[in-house]
Structure 1
């Protein structure tokens, strides 16, 4: 008796439908999707953008049923996302006896069925390949890690992290730095391997899957747009306001200082003018001169220049009068009594 594995059964089924001319298979990809009993899974079905207005559906070979997009049932939802050029199939409450089998993502084009993706769904109590979370997210410019688990039978199988959209895959030990972001996969050899993505970009968002051999498990990955640092912006704004206020206060201080200086000089101007007039016109002075009888006569020469007439000769006369004894005063150190002599000087 000849037996076939799941991959061979899949291609025999596709070949049968191709022979009848009913369907066309546009993708050579085929994988075994392993999921946990009682759990749920979401499967992405990508298509060419030019087919976004065509009818799309999820085909089950178990009961030969077609479920078209934008249909929601108790344990099955098929939703189209034309802006992303894909539709997703979500199956809930998975049971081995009910859900194990072949499935296809397909479209109706000019009366023909176009299969874009095919898989074998296998429900297990301990999936051959699984992930902690089927949906992960990271921030733009940051990094994210995904841990993928595999059963002991897949220890020596090829481990990969693949993107559904462009079918690009990254293997263990390989570091991809061709773009701004990089991908590194490391296998611990103890039934798990880790995918590290760094330098995340918004375009990295999408559907990926962990795989070991032909077994896989899908993961939806979302990159969140980086937001400006609000605290930093607030500090910068506060610093700007502080500098502006400081500049205004400094300007006011300078203006007040200039105003005070101007006012002070303006108030002193009349006194300076009066002093200049007195120096020009002459003055009357009274001095206390202490002298002894035996002191020789004191002569003084007074010169005055009229700024308005440099050639004018001015003669000054001095009249010295004796003061009565009653007006005499003692010198500061005591001793003899001396007379106070007044001298009046006036120009003639």
Structure 2
């Protein structure tokens, strides 16, 4: 049984790539590192676990696995996934990394995610030189593979593969939590790693990045709640001011009754056409003109 295991011949375009490395449970607490060189005994250490830079090594002890993220990828050559043993010789497994602008095998996305019960699709593209080679989709943790053109498979029947002569498409249906993890597309001797996540898990992110994502969401939620409360307070203040201003109109000023139009105009009232109906008692009418006359009665002659 291999105590350290990784891929063997990885193809990659210039950009970034993440390499998975599995180790035996006995190395759970040992320091992990990434090493470059043809000979194991003389390879130069590029990065240790839980350090971050152009090459980042992240250890996942609960999964007996660590990942190596290289960004940017620049140099082809032999590399080693390794564990520091101490008094005994260190342990490691090698891979060859081929960096080209047009690699013989590539994927549209090295990370895909889907909801539990849903489906994900991975597109594996190959060059004409690999058209007649064996195409495979394999699960990294146990090496179970499904081969294009073969009905039998060591993976479950939820995995479906189709090949159109330029690429092969892998579809995983009815996703389960157990489907999450690392896989690889294979064509001939080339491999490309792919990470599948299920049910809201952040695909392929180191733990510290997932924690920052969760805390960022909490801060945004608190800001949203505070903003809504502020809007409600301002709205209440505006309504209060509106009521105060209108109540000021309900006053009596020198016999003038002012209202908001809730009463009908009285007879002999004068209505002023301003924004608010105002009913004021009309001034007393002038007395009508009166003609006075004197009647003189003359006595009749006897």
Shorter-chain TM-score bucket reads 0.5 to 0.7
Report SS of the residue matched to 1:72.
coil
**Any stretches of 5+ residues in structure 2 without a counterpart?**
202-302
Cα deviation per residue 1:67-92 (whole Å; 9 max; x = unaligned)?
2211112x111111112221110111
> How far, CA to CA, are the matches of 2:139 and 2:29 in structure 1?
24
Whole-angstrom distance in 1 between the partners of 2:76 and 2:96: 7
Question: Would you say 1:217 and 2:192 are equivalent positions?
Answer: yes
Q: Give the match for residue 244 of structure 2.
A: none
C-alpha contact (below 8 Å) 1:33/1:120 kept by paired residues: yes
Match of 2:31 in 1: 55
Pick from 80, 97, 116: which aligns with 1:121?
Answer: 97
What SS does the corresponding residue of 1:203 show, helix, strand or coil? helix
Aligned-pair CA distance for 1:180: 6.5
Pairwise CA RMSD of aligned residues? Answer: 2.5
Equivalent residue number for residue 79 of structure 1: 58
Q: Kindly tell me: are residues 179 and 185 of structure 1, through their superposed partners in 2, closer, same or farther at Cα, counting changes over 3 Å?
A: closer
Cα offsets for 1:240-285 (capped at 9, x unmatched): xxxxxxxxxxxxxxxxxxxxxxxxxxxxxxxxxxxxxxxxxxxxxx
How far off is 1:49 after superposition?
A: 2.6
- Is the counterpart of residue 206 in structure 1 residue 181 in structure 2? yes
Question: Partners of 2:13 and 2:157 in 1: how far apart?
Answer: 32
Partner of 1:187: 163
Q: Give the total of aligned pairs.
A: 196
Alpha carbons of 1:45 and 1:27: their partners in 2 closer, same or farther (altered >3 Å)? closer
2:73 paired with 1:94 = yes
Q: CA deviation at 1:64?
A: 2.6
* TM-score of the two chains, using structure 1 as the length reference: 0.52
SS in 2 for 1:157: coil
Aligned residue for 2:135?
159
**Displacement of 1:176 after TM fit?**
6.5
Structure 1, gaps ≥5 residues long: 1-23, 227-348
SS of the residue aligned with 2:8? strand
